[in-house]
Amino acid sequence: MDKFIIDGGRRLYGTIRAESAKNSVLPLLAASVLTEEQVTIREVPAITDVLCMVQILRELGAKVTFRGEDVIIDSADACCHEISSALTKELRSSVFMLGSLLTRFRRAVIAYPGGCDIGLRPIDLHLSALKRLGVKIEERDGFIYCKCDVLRGAEIALDFPSVGATENILLAAVKAEGRTVLHGAAKEPEIVDLQNFLNGMGANIRGAGTDVIVIEGVKRLGGVTFLPIKDRIEAGSYLIACAVCGGETEVEGVCGENIRLLLHKLRENGCKIHTKNDKIRIESSGRLKSNRRIETMPFPGFPTDLQAQATALNSGAEGGALIIENLFETRYKYVPELRKMGADIEVNGRNAFVRGVSRLHGATVAAGDLRGGAALVIAALGAEGTSEVLDLSHIDRGYADLQGKLTSLGAKIKRVRI
C-alpha cells in the first residue's frame, strides 16, 4: 500500500504528454480477440486497468507480450469463453468481452462487472441489444450466460447513449450476418477510435461520432497495428491541476475539441487557454472565480470523469458553484474527504453546491475511486500545508506515473510505502 505526501502551494510550469486513452485502450484490448492474427496496440499506458484486461486475455488463452510501451496480442490459441469473477469484479470494462467472445466463440460467460463504486452501473442496455442480435441470455448466481447459433444484424435503438453498450454492440455486430443500424449511439471520441481500429482489421463500420452507426457484418477480420487517441480525461486533470496551482503548462497529444466544455469552464475561472493542433496551453494566476454551474452530460457535454476534479477546483475558487451529476448516482463519495481539507460542499442527490473558500488546507484523505482520487490530489496540490492521500490503488487504475509527471511540472509530491 502506497500513499502520496504532497506539499501544496507550488506553481506548475512545463510540458507533459498525455498517455493513450484508458477508455480507448480497454475496449481495443477486448476487440483484439476478434481475430486469430496478431494485433499490436501502441503506446499503452502503464495503469492497472490495462494489466487487469491483459490478465483477462491471458485467462482466455491469448498470448500477450509487452514490447516497450506496445502490447502485442496473439489470440490464435484462445479457446476459453469464460471470465472468472475475480477479474470481472476488478474491472468494469470486462463487460466488453461479452461482444468480443460472442463474435469469436458464439458463447460468453462473465460475472457481473465491477469497477469504480460510483453508482448502480446496470448493463441492461448491453444485454437487450445483444438479444436483438440473436443472443440468448440467462442470468444466474451473479453470472451472465450468453449463447447464440448465429449473430444476425438488426435495428437497435438505445434509450440512453451508453458508451459501453455502444462499444459492445460494435463488437458483437462486426461479423454478424447482414447490417446492424444503431440509433442513439454514444458519440465519445473513444467510439470513433474503436471504429477506426475495427475498420483497420477489415470491418465495415461508419457513423461513429454521430448518433447513428451502421455496421455491415464482414466474414473475416485480420491483424492490425494501431495507435489509440490520447487521454482527454488525463489531459483535463492536469489542466485543472495547473489552474488550481497557478503557473503555465502545456499538455500535448489532445485536441481541444475533445474537451471543449472543460476549456470553456477554465476560461470562466479566469484562466487563459490557447489551443493549437493537439496542444493545449493554460496560464493561471491561481486566483480563480467559481463556475456558476457545471452539469455532466454525454459527449460533447461536460464529462462525468472530470466532475470530481472540477469540484475540487471550485472548492478553492471565489464564489459559489452548482455541480449537477447526471450520469452516475453516487459520484460524490470524495466530498467528505474534500471537506477534511476545508471545502464547503453541500450534496443533495445529484446536486452539489460548492461555496468557495479562500484556501484549502492540508489533511489526510483517502481515495475511494479513480477520478475522486485525482480530485483529492489536485486539491492537495493547491492547499496550504502538507496532505497525505491514501489508497492509491484507485488512482493507479487510470493515471500512469502521476507523481513523475506532477514532479516534472514542479509539484512537491512523494510516493511512499506504508
And the C-alpha cell for 90? 476488478
Angle separating helix axes 22-31 and 232-245, nearest 10 degrees: 160
Residue choice 20, 40, 75, 93 for contact with ligand UD1 (CB under 6 A): 93
Q: Which residues contact 279 (CB under 8 A, 6 or more apart)?
A: 250, 251, 252
Q: Closest CB to ligand UD1 among 66 and 160?
A: 160
What does the alpha-carbon distance between residue 217 and residue 399 come to, in Å, rounded to a whole number? 36
Q: Does 52 bind ligand UD1 (CB under 6 A)?
A: no
Question: Does the CA dihedral 76-79-82-84 come out positive or negative?
Answer: negative
Q: Closest CB to ligand UD1 among 316 and 372?
A: 372
Q: What angle do CA 153, 158, 159 make, to 5 degrees?
A: 155
Q: How far is the CB of 18 from ligand UD1 (least distance, A)?
A: 15
And the C-alpha cell for 193? 477510435
Written as one letter, the residue type at 112 is Y
Question: Does the CA dihedral 151-156-162-167 come out positive or negative?
Answer: positive
Q: Closest CB to ligand UD1 among 3 and 126?
A: 126
Residue choice 6, 31, 108, 123 for contact with ligand UD1 (CB under 6 A): 123
Please provide the DSSP assignment of 255-321 as one string.
-GGGGHHHHHHHHHTT-EEEEETTEEEEEE-S--BPPSEEEB-STTSB-GGGHHHHHHHHHTSBSEE
Q: Does 178 bind ligand UD1 (CB under 6 A)?
A: no
In the numeric block, the cell 502551494 is attached to 9
Q: Does 66 bind ligand UD1 (CB under 6 A)?
A: no
What does the alpha-carbon distance between residue 370 and residue 65 come to, in Å, rounded to a whole number? 26
* 116 among known catalytic residues: yes
Q: Closest CB to ligand UD1 among 10 and 126?
A: 126
Q: Does 54 bind ligand UD1 (CB under 6 A)?
A: no
Q: Does 44 bind ligand UD1 (CB under 6 A)?
A: no
Map residues 181-210 to x or -, x wherever contact with ligand UD1 holds by CB under 6 A. Answer: -----x------------------------
Q: Closest CB to ligand UD1 among 164 and 356?
A: 164
Q: How far is the CB of 27 from ligand UD1 (least distance, A)?
A: 7
Q: Which residues contact 128 (CB under 8 A, 6 or more apart)?
A: none
Question: Does the CA dihedral 255-259-264-265 come out positive or negative?
Answer: negative
Residue choice 114, 134, 153, 164 for contact with ligand UD1 (CB under 6 A): 164
Residue choice 3, 104, 121, 394 for contact with ligand UD1 (CB under 6 A): 121
Map residues 342-361 to x or -, x wherever contact with ligand UD1 holds by CB under 6 A. Answer: --------------------
Q: How far is the CB of 340 from ligand UD1 (least distance, A)?
A: 25
Residues 124-143 that bind ligand UD1 (CB under 6 A): 124-126
Q: Does 304 bind ligand UD1 (CB under 6 A)?
A: yes
Is the CB of residue 40 less than 8 Å from the CB of residue 17? Answer: no
**Residue 192: which of 156, 232, 133, 152 has the closest Cα?**
232
Q: Does 165 bind ligand UD1 (CB under 6 A)?
A: yes
DSSP state of 46: -
Q: What share of the chain is helix, strand, coil (3-state, %, to 5)?
A: 35, 30, 35
Q: Does 10 bind ligand UD1 (CB under 6 A)?
A: no
Q: Which of 52, 79, 80, 116 is catalytic?
A: 116
Helix/strand/coil for 202? coil
**Binding span for ligand UD1 by CB under 6 A among 4-12, 123-131, 341-349, 407-415:** 123-131
Q: How far is the CB of 364 from ligand UD1 (least distance, A)?
A: 27
Q: Does 29 bind ligand UD1 (CB under 6 A)?
A: no
What does the alpha-carbon distance between residue 72 and residue 55 come to, in Å, rounded to a whole number? 13
Q: Closest CB to ligand UD1 among 92 and 132?
A: 92
Q: Closest CB to ligand UD1 among 125 and 341?
A: 125
Residues lying near ligand UD1 in the complex (CB under 6 A): 23, 26, 92-93, 120-126, 160, 162-165, 186, 304-305, 327-328
Which are the catalytic amino acids?
116
